[in-house]
Amino acid sequence: MNLIPIPAFSDNYLWLLHDGQRALIVDPGDAAPVLRVLQENGLQLGSILVTHHHPDHTGGVAELHAATGAPVHGPAREAIPEPFQRLQDGDTVQTLGLDFQTIDVPGHTAGHIAFYTPEMDGRPLLFCGDTLFSGGCGRLFEGTPAQMLASLDRLAALPGNTRVCCTHEYTLGNLRFALAVEPDNEELIGYHARCAALRDQGRPTLPTSLAQELLINPFLRTRQATVMEAARRFDPAAHDDNTVFAAIRQWKNQFK
Ligand code: ZN
Ligand code: FE
C-alpha cells in the first residue's frame, strides 16, 4: 500500500491510499491534484471519504464523484455534497480490502468523524481530519471543550503505533506553542528539531504516530502536572479536566 499526502491550498494534505490499482482519497478539498495523481499512477478511485463539511475538505468531492463514479462516505449529521453514504459512530466502510471504522469526534465541527483501520501493512491507520494535528488540535468552531476532550480521549485510546494522518501541515506552529506550555519537555524539544529539519527539506511532518503525540501534544497531555500548571498560569480558574483543556485551547487561540 502507498500512503501519499497530496499538498493542496496553503497547508492542506489530501491523503491518498492506493494498492497500485485502486485508490481512496480522504477530504479532497480540490479535485485537480487528485485527478493528476490518479492519472500519473494509472489508478482507479474506489472511495471518497469525508471527515467534516468544511470547504477545504469537500471542495473537490462533487467533481471527483462525477469524474470517477467513486462512492462518497461522510458524516451522517453534516451537509456535504450529495449523494453520500451517511456514517454513524461504529459504521464500517470496506474499501481496498480494508475495514475503516467510523469514530464520532465532535468538537471542530458538530458531526466530525474519523476513519480508523486496525491493520494496514502491519500498523493501524487513522484519518482524523481537523480533530487531531501533530502538536495540536482543531479549533472549536461548533463544539465545546468537553466534547473535543472526549473526542481526543477516544483517539488517544487507539494503539500507540497508529499512523495518524492529519489534514494540515500546522506542526511547526503547533510545536512553538507546545514549547511555551512545556519548555522542559525533552521529547518535545527533540521532535521540534526533527520536524524543523523535515520542513527545511520541504518534506511533510506527517503522518505522525499516536505514541509520539502522547509525548509532545499539549492537547493530549492536559492531565499531566506540567500542562495543568501551565494552564493555571494562563487561567487561574482552570481546575478540572474540561477547564484545563479549555484554558490550553484558549491560550493557543491567542498565542502569537
Ligand atoms: Zn475544518
Ligand atoms: Fe481544514
Given this model, what pLDDT does residue 68 score?
98
Mean pLDDT for all residues in the chain: 98
Q: Which residues surround the ion ligand 2 when the cut-off is CB under 5 Å? A: 56, 130
C-alpha neighbours within 13 Å on the C-beta side of residue 189: 5
**Could you tell me the three cell numbers for 218?**
499539549
pLDDT of residue 95: 98
- Domain total in the chain: 1
Confidence class for position 51, pLDDT limits 50, 70, 90: very high
Burial class of 180 by CB neighbour count within 10 A (0 to 12, 13 to 18, 19+): middle
Out of 18, 73, 168, 192, the active site residue is 168
Distance 186 CA to ligand 1 centre (A): 31
Ligand 2 midpoint to CA 166 (Å) = 9
> Whole-prediction pTM value?
0.98
Q: What 3-state class would DSSP assign to 2? A: strand
Q: Which of the four pLDDT bands, split at 50, 70 and 90, describes residue 111?
A: very high
How would residue 87 be classed by pLDDT, with cut points 50, 70 and 90?
very high
The per-residue pLDDT for 96 is 97
State residue 56's pLDDT score.
98
Domain hosting 26: range is 2-254
Instruction: Supply the pLDDT for residue 198.
Output: 98
Q: What pLDDT is recorded for position 43?
A: 98
Phi-psi region of 96 (alpha: psi -120 to 50; beta: other; left: phi over 0): left
Find the helix or strand (DSSP H, E) in which 225 lies.
Answer: helix 225-234
Q: Is the dihedral of CA 228, 232, 235, 239 positive or negative?
A: positive
Q: What is the CATH number of the domain that holds 190?
A: 3.60.15.10
**Mean pLDDT computed over 86-113:** 98
Interhelix angle 225-234/241-254, rounded to 10 degrees, is 60
Confidence of residue 231 (pLDDT cuts 50, 70, 90): very high
